[in-house]
A and B are shown apart, each in its own frame.
Chain A
Amino acid sequence: MIGLAGLFGTFLPMLVTACSAWGPVRGRKLWTLSLAAHLTAWCCFALVLVLGFFGNGKSSAGAVLSPMILAQSPWSDETSLLWTFPFAALCLAACSVTVSFHFIARGVLEVSRASVAGLAAYLTCILGALGSNHPLLFSIFLAGSLLPRLIFMGMDVRDGRIEAVKETAFLSIVALLSLLISVLAFASPFRDTLGTWFMMERGDRIVLPGSIGISLLLLSAAISAGIFPFHGNARRIFQMRRMERAVPLALQPIFGFVLLFKFGPASFPKEFHDFSPLLLGLFSVGIAYSALCFLGARSARDRVFWLQQVVSSFVAVGFFSLTIKGWHGAQVLLFFQSVAIPFLLLVLACHERRPSMLPLKEVARYPAFALSTALATLFALFLPLSIGFYGVLLVTWSLVGLQQWPLPFLILSMPLIAFAGVRIMYFRLGDLHPSADSGNGGFRDLQRDEIFAILPIGLTLLVLGLVPRLLMGPMGISVAATMRALGFKD
């Protein structure tokens, strides 16, 4: 029953896609329909979380399984959607972001049916990817996200940046094909039909297949997540004319990291063990690099982008530590990234809508605006009232006693973030020194739609930061169970 709720929640937005593409509903009615569908999806996943993991006799270490949805011989046996706690929480986060987007971009959604269709299809693909328990099923959802993302980006891209859209799409194709090859060649049951293909042995070690498979998987994950060295791929969403459209697209890294968490070590346990020190070093350097760029960023959009890269790098470091603590921290940061970065983009979008700067000393007159920016500061600096703090702490701590040499990069990054965070602390994120004589004529506080978009997410993150065990407790239990099942120890 609970699985059915999850299944319904996953595919419900597709009805919106169909209605917006072919149905008679338009304008405000279509917006309302879309919002209702997304809210219903949110409710479904809230139900999955509450009943599936906190109900009678349930445990956070368990999983919720939907009815079978795919059986494609010889590619896959009967596959269903499967949610463990971290991924169910991510589903809820994704739904929250899209619901918020409905409010901040009401004007856009009421006039553009393509945007409504694209948003709904994109959310379905994210939810499906989060629930897939077979690489082929994941590939289908990853492939399905290509068109909606292309439409979303292309419709509002800045003049002269159309080539960026093409590059993004091309890289996504490359990621998809890499994943498909990896799935076909190294995932059951098709792999079993290939016999001894790729089995080049040297002594008692099979040297070729795992390296190729993991390389393809990592390539696909890195491109999908928009992480170094493919961070330029993630940067495209910041090329838009209006930042509202970037909000749902900020969920894109979910694809890459879900691919790693769900299918990486399960498919290539030995190779991940061998490769992890190297990748750990790479992403540790990536954290420091991103922090430096965060410090040197000139515009607010760049700052948010590099902050996203910092968080992604931390997630990667936590993942490649291959410890329970590291994975726990990485999962927390992934959730944090999925909510906090869209939140920052929402705040940024509100800022960019206002033509005049707000002098700092006037801020008390605009309490909603002030609260939103204060929350943005909290999350951007990983301060202790946000779960990002705990995620970073766990990831850093997981390296102590294990692989200590990346630690200096992580530690060096934090002061850089502190310096860079100063710029976010000033109201009107783009300006360091609001000029004293600029009046605030025409400045207005957050409107109702903006409040509905921003504050629920912000306050949710704040509550989770104040009571971290609400989210992190069950997440830790689930992660520990997963890691032990994979044979990894703390």
Chain B
Amino acid sequence: MPISEIVLLVTALLQGALLVGPRGKSSLKGMELIAVLGLGAAGLYLIFTRGLPAVMPVSFAMLEDQALFRFPRAALLFAGVLLSRVVAATQEIPDGRKPEVLFLLSILAILCDLLILSRHGTLSMILLVLCTWVGLFLGGLAYRGRREGEAVLKFWTQASISLTIGFGAIVLLSLVAGGAHFSVIGEYVKAQPAFSPQALLVVAGLLLPFLMAAGFFPFHFITIDRDHGLPWSVQTILSVMFQGAVATAAWKMSVEVFGHAARGTPAGSISDGLRVLQLCGLVGGFWLALFALTQENSKRLYSAIVGAQWSAILAAGALPTLLSATAIVYSLSATFLWSAILGFVWSRFQERAGSESITAVYGAAKAFRTSGLILLLALASPLCVPGFPGFPSLLYLLASMIEQKSLIFLASEAALLSLLCLSSIRIGTDLLFRQKAAETEGAKAEPFLCYSALDWGVVAGLTSLLLFSGFFWHSALEKIGNAASVFLQ
């Protein structure tokens, strides 16, 4: 078991102990502190112990701690730290339910981490289902009325279908390929002609559960519809942590299973599995990006742009070269961070305005200057602006698309990235430059949106990390590249 998992487990255990004990403000504070420290420690461990060799393999070689994926995992955990602060501050969840939510957050962090580490199909399916059920419980805990109930119901439906399809696929794959381990499936795929029925079966069987669980194309409408009914804190957890982890895991799995097949073909050609993933990313990304442009409901908008961002990254990772792997991992890591920061600030604005419409928070970034600055930094991150991760991300993503030597996909990806930038610009412009809404005027009486010292500390840390990785991008990408070369071997 990787050390980070041990830390996370300890975190969860401590939180569980507090849950069982007497409830009160102190226990809630304790839960918050444990979440921050535990997730943060795990993340820091992953960052600063990169060079340590992979820990002992677990049973059945189901998990492997690869240096390359420590970056997105660390980013995932740091995002979790920040999102725990969202849970702590939200008013959409009753105080009595917050400890459970924090506990489930830690559980979700563990599951997501394991999902990324997983190298076995069955384990991946189990983890996906568990994550979905955790999400379901998170939604249920936030139950206040009919709308939350509908969301939970949709979640339950999704989880059930995922379970059925996922396990069915794994069984079928095991029969066909002779095993559920990625390496076994990979060997089987290598022997099949491209886009043959067997190959397509493997593609469908492996990818469908991931796509369904996280709400990627062709199931993109599920999350939009579902997240609308959830509280901001839960929605951000699912959009950032869960969806991001699934995207990372899906890409990792695709490279491990289908990447060998691509390398066996003439240079520049893409294997079928990765091509399918790319197409899902492109189509889903376009759908979500265009949806986001016309959306005025903030939750839907947030889900859409974050989902589109994950999709755009998946669309660029079809050719597993060194450049591409570096680009994907860097982009995934950065997206974890900026989407968490964005959710952190935006959710506060909306809650204080008491409305879900973005029109209610027009000019809020101007009214609350510090929060506005943080929001601006978060929104600038996906943009192609030097000093932020967006510039090297786009540079490397475009380069990896160029490596694929396809004009159509290059143009599509560039268009998709442009639309995503437009969405960020739109939100930033509306929140920063528009005339202040009446709701914002009313909320102005409360100073500083009630950030605590811990909030400030966490936000400052994550923002600094984001800017650091953006400013010194060459060093960061160099380190990722070294790890990627090991992974691709």
Contacts and interface: CB of A to CB of B under 8 A. Distances in A.
Contact of A143 (B385, B428, B434): B385
A180 B398 contact: yes
B418 A165 contact: no
Contact of B434 (A141, A162, A169, A170): A162
B394 A165 contact: no
Given A159-B435, A184-B402, A190-B399, A177 B418 contact: yes
A238 to B, nearest CB: 17
Nearest to B410: A181
B463 to A, nearest CB: 12
Interface of B: 268, 380, 383-387, 391, 394-395, 398-399, 402-403, 405, 407, 410, 414, 417-418, 421-422, 425-426, 428-430, 432-435, 474
Contacts of B394: 177, 180
Interface in A338-397: none
A144 interface: yes
Given A166-B429, A170-B421, A170-B425, A180 B383 contact: no
B402 A197 contact: yes
B395 A181 contact: no
A180 B393 CA distance: 12
A155 interface: yes
A185 interface: yes
A255 to B, nearest CB: 14
A185 B401 CA distance: 10
Q: Is the interface of A mostly helix, strand, loop or mixed?
A: helix
B385 A154 contact: no
Contacts, number: 81
A194 interface: yes
B410 A173 contact: no
Given A144-B386, A147-B385, A177-B418, A166 B426 contact: yes
Nearest to B405: A197
A282 to B, nearest CB: 23
Q: Is the interface of B mostly helix, strand, loop or mixed?
A: helix
Interface in A181-225: 181, 184-185, 190, 194, 197-198, 212
A464 interface: no
Contacts of A140: 386, 391
A174 B402 contact: no
Contact of A165 (B399, B407, B429): B429
A119 to B, nearest CB: 17
* The 3 residue pairs across chains A and B that have the minimum distance between CB atoms: A154-B433, A173-B421, A169-B425
Contacts of B430: 162
B398 A143 contact: no
B398 A184 contact: yes
Given A143-B384, A177-B394, A154 B402 contact: no
A150 B425 contact: yes
A250 interface: no
A176 interface: yes
B422 A72 contact: no
24 contacts: A75-B395, A140-B391, A143-B384, A143-B385, A143-B391, A146-B383, A146-B384, A146-B385, A147-B380, A147-B385, A150-B425, A155-B433, A157-B433, A165-B433, A166-B426, A166-B429, A169-B422, A170-B421, A170-B425, A173-B383, A173-B418, A173-B422, A177-B394, A194-B402
